[in-house]
Homo-oligomer: A and B are copies of this chain.
Amino acid sequence: MENFLLAELKKAAQWIDAAIKSSTFPDAVRPDFLAQAMRAYPEVGGKRLRPAIMLWSAAAAGGDMQKVVPAAAALEVFHNWTLVHDDIIDGDETRRNQPTAHVVLAQAIDMAEHRRSKFGCDMAILAGDLMQAWAFDFIDQCDCSAGLKLKLARELRDCGYLKLVSGEAEDVVMSYRYAGDVSEAEMFAMQTGKTGALLHYAARAGWMLGKGYPEAWDEPEAVALGRFGDALALAFQLRDDYLGVFGKLEEFGKPIGSDLQEGKATLLLIHALKNLPASEEEKLSKLLYLESYTAEDLEQARQLFRQCSSVEYMLDAIKKYSAEAVDALTVLPDSDGKKLLQLLTEYLINREK
């Protein structure tokens, strides 16, 4: 079954790649380096999760997946502008093993070295802005009624801006606080916006596109698919946070320990800081914000997470949300699309990378 999933995921990724590469929208942008920056993230591509979910939800609704490609490309480009602006905000220098947008743009023109970093960030702000327009241009290219296009754009503004950007802002604010003072509810609310909103949109808008009329957004199956997206996002993010401490560097892209270095309020850390005895809590908090992490530092942190059962607590939460995701799908009639959404959930919560 995993082969079926991977083959379908690959097919979806190829469709999205082709749609993005053949779009001429960025061609009118000047200077050329800014047009190239718009294309860089969407063309390199990641897992293409969001488009795949949208395509499979459309299939579950009895729609033609290929007709949904422009809307799925819109979603992927939309996701990528948020990454461009996030990378500026987080000061990240690599993504998908490539230099981030602001790092590339810092080298775009000849200038004094000390001014490059500011220039790169300024241009990356504008590249992200332009990508927002590109996403909505893709919606405009959909083979559907004007009313459905407007509905797609309206719900993307709700999910992709009001919910996602609010979640991103809450995440930034949270990063200035001690993780032990952040509640689980706050963290989950933030993640439901930051990660959940676009998965919610992907699944729910996919159903609507499969049906072909705007009213389908509120059909019980669409609402259930929205819950699927919400729950899958939390399970996915929890697995990410788990791998950030217990993963293997060779497989997981991100350096193990970087979440500890940032003092990131993951469920693991929130739970441990609240449940460890005071002396052990102090040990754990001394393992946050270090310049670098030795194998011993990481092993000590893992030991503390195990000691207060934070690992079990985390793994239980992953199971709970993935079960919620799969459960939400039961309302759908049986189909390949539904099967793929189920398989994807299993796959994502068991991944090592």
Contacts and interface: CB of A to CB of B under 8 A. Distances in A.
Nearest to A154: B140
Interface residues of A, number: 47
A129 B76 CA distance: 17
Nearest to A148: B146
A123 interface: yes
A277 B115 CA distance: 32
A59 to B, nearest CB: 26
Contacts of A111: 176
A125 B123 CA distance: 12
A5 interface: no
A283 B51 CA distance: 60
A88 interface: yes
Contacts of A145: 146
Given A140-B154, A153-B153, A157-B136, A129 B166 contact: no
Interface in A213-237: none
A165 B129 contact: yes
Interface stretch (A24-32, A306-314, A330-338): A24-32
Contacts of A133: 157, 160-162
Given A28-B158, A126-B169, A146-B149, 15 more contacts: A29-B166, A30-B166, A30-B170, A31-B166, A31-B173, A88-B125, A111-B176, A119-B176, A125-B128, A129-B129, A130-B161, A137-B154, A140-B150, A145-B146, A153-B153
23 contacts: A28-B163, A28-B166, A30-B166, A30-B193, A31-B169, A31-B173, A34-B166, A85-B125, A85-B126, A85-B129, A88-B125, A89-B126, A123-B169, A126-B168, A128-B129, A129-B165, A130-B161, A132-B161, A133-B160, A133-B162, A137-B157, A146-B150, A150-B150
